[in-house]
Amino acid sequence: MDFITGKHLHRRTFLRGMGATVALPFLDAMVPAGRHWSRVRHVADPTRLIAIEMVHGAAGCNDWGATQNLWAPAAVGRDFDLSPSALSSLEPFRDYLTIISNTDVRMAEAYQPKEIGGDHFRSSAVFLTQSHPKQTEGSDVYVGTSLDQIYAQRFGQETPIPSMQLCIENINQSGGCAYGYTCVYTDSISWASPTEPLPVIRDPRVAFDQLFGAGGTPAEREARRRTNKSILDWIAGRVSELRRELGPNDIERLDRYLENVREIERRIEGIEARNTSGEPRELPEAPAGVPDSFEEHVKLMFDLQALAFASDVTRVFSLKMGRDSSARVFPESGSDRPFHPASHHGGREEGILEFFKINRYHVSMLPYLLERLQSIHEGDTHLLDKTMVIYGSPMADGNLHNHRRAPLLVAGGANGRLEGNLHLKAPDGTPMANAMLSLMHALGMDDTANFGDSTGALSLTMPSTSMSTGG
């Protein structure tokens, strides 16, 4: 632990015990004496980034679904109605919502006859790279460096973990890829370079240990778990020592943060106990730390991300919420159709509406994340003001494997770089890469001139003719 020798506690302070390293949240004691947080905020406070991909597109990107505003609202600008759309659950966060509709992901399309039919097996690699993957079944993969990794390479190097990559679905399904594509394109949305896909973490236990056990070896962490002690038990003495040096506001903030760490630890322990009890599982192939419930799994991953941001262990996450061709059923959505078959609705109105139920359910996970970020105060504001959350798909109409009018939204304030309460409809034929380039600028990478197949930046502010309407 870094001891406080004056009135200033270093931001990169850790509490260490056997197999446990717990970074601290932002405290008033971390502001240099005589300076207010607002004076140093923009210098030392890069925007946090979460990039979320959901496969199979959206019902509102089908020709008929677009007329019903099942994804993008009818009105462009600020006076839009979310109620008919899959985004209706985001209404409480309208002021933090930027909808970007009518952009194309042409890099996910087939370039040669032999690539036709392989949309599911290359699309995920395109989402954050906006580059066309080389068709190969070998190790000579090539696509592009992803947006999250470009950002991590520039703004994530000061944190203990530059970035983390998470997923919900199983990505190790043998025989799940075809049309001449290696499965790494299907499994990976984060690419450190055009030839270097980054591994993803599905098990919340593994993610928790990386975030709160980085100072110990795997053997030490396993020994700690066998004692049935919380990681907080191993740092209790350090916590008591620190509390004596803090003011009442900081003590309250520290206690709340540590209780949140302990709550997540309890939830993971409960999931592992349930999944090793011998009772039948819905996901028998999944690790013991993976909940059978999709919603429980997603929320646990969101909680881990929020805590990681609070402690500044990392500032960059990617989350792959689905896997192409997944047959998972989401009964909470109100539909009993498996995910991939539901996306192949045949253009029938009843089938499109059935797929819409699943889209709406998936988006309804986001308010939980936004609430968690909003509840964590740091300096003179909260983490939702300081975060950019990208959510979208490289596919548009899953029934036709079409990549035109693909779904995309952005949430959060991005340190004042996003206006919010805005629906932007791009001109026909606009690459999604144009929107991604603008988001890179909003993240502080203003010197980036192009990205993927971009043809220029897409303005993220309300145009003067914002009262026009469109699907």
Q: pLDDT for 215-271, tens place per residue?
A: 456 666 666 666 667 888 878 888 888 888 899 999 999 999 999 999 999 999 999
Q: What is the pLDDT of residue 220?
A: 64
Kindly provide the b/e burial profile for residues 276-290, where b requires at least 16 CB atoms within 10 angstroms of the residue's own CB.
eeeeebebeebeebb
Asked if 204 and 290 count as a contact pair (C-beta separation under 8 A), the reply is: yes
- Bridge partners for 20 per DSSP: 17
H/E run at residue 20: strand 20-23
Q: What is the pLDDT of residue 337?
A: 98
Output 4 or 20, whichever has higher pLDDT: 20
Q: How confident is the model at residue 465 (pLDDT cuts 50, 70, 90)?
A: low
Answer positive or negative: Cα dihedral of 81, 85, 90, 94. negative
Distance CA 56, CA 402 (A): 10
- Residue 44 CB coordination number (10 Å): 9
Q: What is the pLDDT of residue 380?
A: 87
Q: Which of 164-178, 322-336, 392-406, 440-454 has the lowest mean pLDDT?
A: 164-178
Burial class (CB in 10 A: 0-12, 13-18, 19+), 78: middle
Question: What is the total residue count of the chain?
Answer: 471
> Quick one: angle between helices 204-212 and 248-275, nearest 10?
150
Longest dimension (CA), the chain: 69
- What digits encode the pLDDT tens for the residues 19-51? 678 888 888 888 876 555 455 444 458 999 999
Q: What is the pLDDT of residue 466?
A: 44
CA 178 to chain centre: 27
Q: What is the pLDDT of residue 233?
A: 81
Q: What is the pLDDT of residue 5?
A: 40
Asked if 204 and 271 count as a contact pair (C-beta separation under 8 A), the reply is: yes
What are the structure tokens assigned to 441, written together? 């600028």
Kindly provide the b/e burial profile for residues 434-443, where b requires at least 16 CB atoms within 10 angstroms of the residue's own CB.
bbbbbbbbbb
Among 321, 397, 399, CA closest to 104 = 397
Q: Would you state the torsion angle of the CA atoms of residues 3, 161, 40, 247, taken in this order, to the nearest 10 degrees?
A: -40
Predicted confidence (pLDDT) at residue 293 exceeds the cutoff of 70:
yes
Computed on alpha carbons and rounded to an integer, the radius of gyration of the chain in Å comes to 22
- Bridge partners for 193 per DSSP: 196
Distance CA 405, CA 38 (A): 40
Predicted confidence (pLDDT) at residue 290 exceeds the cutoff of 70:
yes
What are the structure tokens assigned to 197, written together? 């896909």
- The amino acid at residue 106 is R
- What digits encode the pLDDT tens for the residues 78-114? 999 999 999 999 999 999 999 999 999 999 999 999 9
**Structural domains in the chain plus CATH codes:** 1-45+217-267 (no CATH), 47-202+296-471 (3.40.720.10)
Answer positive or negative: Cα dihedral of 446, 447, 452, 458. positive
Q: What is the pLDDT of residue 226?
A: 67
What are the structure tokens assigned to 46, written together? 């890069």
What mean pLDDT is predicted for residues 60-85? Answer: 97
Asked if 343 and 56 count as a contact pair (C-beta separation under 8 A), the reply is: yes
Asked if 56 and 397 count as a contact pair (C-beta separation under 8 A), the reply is: no
Q: Which residues contact 309 (CB under 8 A, 6 or more apart)?
A: 48, 315, 373, 376, 383, 387
Q: Which residues contact 26 (CB under 8 A, 6 or more apart)?
A: 11, 310, 312, 378, 379
Distance CA 135, CA 182 (A): 8
Q: What is the pLDDT of residue 29?
A: 87
Distance CA 39, CA 42 (A): 7
Among 344, 336, 316, CA closest to 156 = 316
Among 51, 241, 75, 55, CA closest to 146 = 51
What are the structure tokens assigned to 163, written together? 């970035």
Q: What is the pLDDT of residue 3?
A: 39
Average pLDDT of the residues of the chain: 90
- Residue 403 CB coordination number (10 Å): 25
